[in-house]
Amino acid sequence: MRAREELDGQDEDREAVLRELDSVKPTHVINTADARGSPNADWCENHKDQTIRSNIIGVANLVDCCFLRGIHITHFASACIYDQDDAHPLDGSGFTEEEPPNYWGSFYSQSKLISENVLKTYPNVLILRIRDPLAADLHPMNFVTKLLSYKKIVNVPNSGSIMTNLVPGVILLAKHKEIGIYNFTNPGTFTHNEVMGLMKEYIRPSLTWVNFSLEEQHAILKAPRCNAKLDATKLINKLGEYGYTVLNAQNALVEAFVEMKAKGLQ
């Protein structure tokens, strides 16, 4: 199966997608493309047309083309459709896949929620909700790289997707043609300060950072942000059936930074 990037920018072009699928004849497709914006999701507030074409029209077209060709597709969705409330405190068990989303404060989240509601009706789609993805690299979209780029950061516990631990799970779920929605996060939570603390411990000993409050953060953003803990029980149980262990968030974080250090990243 060819790299997914070869279709970037063409998802809305139905004939181009079908030609690619007919040429490659993949057994599986994994879609990671969406409009997230740079440097953050506020970009979507001023580029709504592009966000709609990528996050709603483009992905729906891709999924429908895969359906017509009988191809299983794994789609990376967003967990930024939930926000903590009285029934779901950050120290509680977290939102399950069956609970209705309660956050649509940003246009990015609105677009991801609309697309999820459409895609979940297809019988060939696996939807993986990721949040604050962190891998053992310094890619611009890596959560730790984003934190490093900010002048100030908040310090709130959230669920997160530690991709060094979770990527093998993507392959297993796709290989077995699982469908439906999964909270694709490691169990537990971590804070921004904990991530920066590990960056300081393993990669940059001189690293310093400044915190500010959620109220102060809200004042400088175009759209509010959500903070939530997700229940990863469904994911843990399903991958456990295939002999794979999903690490808790704290252990997965350490594993990622150990790998970064071994790579010599600075």
- Predicted confidence at residue 90, as pLDDT, reads 81
Q: Tell me, what's the pLDDT at 10?
A: 67
From the number of C-beta atoms within 10 Å of its C-beta (0-12, 13-18, 19+), residue 250 rates as middle
Using omega within 30 degrees of 0 as the cis cutoff, is the peptide bond preceding 26 cis? no
pTM recorded for the entire structure: 0.94
Q: Which residues of the chain have pLDDT under 70?
A: 1-10, 37
Tens of pLDDT, residue by residue over 182-222, are 999 999 999 999 999 999 999 999 999 999 999 999 999 88
pLDDT digits 0-9 by tens, 144-178 = 999 999 999 999 999 999 999 999 999 999 999 99
- Identity of the amino acid at 179: I
Cβ neighbours of residue 3 closer than 8 Å, sequence gap 6 or more: none
Q: What pLDDT is stored for residue 248 in this prediction? A: 98
DSSP-derived letter for residue 137 is S
What's the token pair of residue 73? Answer: 């597709």
**b (16+ CB within 10 A) / e for 164-190:** bbbeebbebbbeeebbebbbbbbbbbb
What does the pLDDT read at residue 2?
A: 43
Residue 16 zone, left/alpha/beta (φ > 0; ψ -120 to 50; rest): alpha
Please answer whether residues 183 and 129 qualify as being in contact, where contact means their C-beta atoms are separated by less than 8 angstroms. Answer: yes
For residue 162, what is the DSSP state?
A: B
Hey, where are the domains in the chain? 14-263
SS (H, E, C) 69-131: CCCEEEEEEECCCCCCECCECCCCCCECCCCCCCCCCCHHHHHHHHHHHHHCCCCCEEEEEEC
pLDDT at 5: 43
What six digits make up the tokens of 15? 């004939």
Question: Cβ neighbours of residue 9 under 8 Å, at least 6 residues apart?
Answer: none
If one looks up domain 14-263 in CATH, what number appears? 3.40.50.720
d(CA 106, CA 95): 19
State the burial class of residue 54 (Cβ atoms within 10 Å of its Cβ: 0-12, 13-18, 19+). Answer: buried
Q: What is the pLDDT of residue 7?
A: 52
CA–CA separation, 145 and 157 (whole Å)? 18
